[in-house]
Amino acid sequence: MATVETALKECTAAIDGAIGAALVDYDSGMALGTIGGGKELDLQVAAAGNTDVVRAKVRTMDMLGLKEEIEDILITLGSQYHLIRLLKGRGSKGFFLYLALDRSRANLAMARHQLKKIEAELEV
């Protein structure tokens, strides 16, 4: 099992085009750990903002009566992909991995595959 720090390091080392990553508690909106980011991407602001995205999607699914679980949420920008992966493992409900990618260097399918693998090994 990987720690939060190890998992976040793997996000930036193993995923081509990674700009930054965070593990976020979507009940509080707080990032439990971050890596990367910088002037272009304030990961604390991204964590809080993406918490609103997750809450809105969960609320919408409830209103629609959908009994599915969210795997991930993708936001595409002109130069970036933002990937939100909700954690499902024992003790990790209420958390998500957030990954920002440089669109010109990233392979979205591989990034999703790697993020799923990292999630499976993560122990919160």
Q: Are strands 30-36 and 18-25 parallel, antiparallel or unpaired?
A: antiparallel
Phi, psi of 38 (to 5 degrees): 120, -155
Question: What is the pTM (predicted TM-score) of this model?
Answer: 0.92
Supply the pLDDT for residue 110.
96
One digit per residue, pLDDT tens: the chain, 124 residues?
678 999 999 999 999 999 999 999 988 999 999 999 888 899 999 999 999 999 999 999 999 999 998 999 999 999 999 999 999 865 567 899 999 999 999 999 999 999 999 998 888 7
Contacts (Cβ under 8 Å, ≥6 apart) of 88: 69, 119
Supply the pLDDT for residue 91.
58
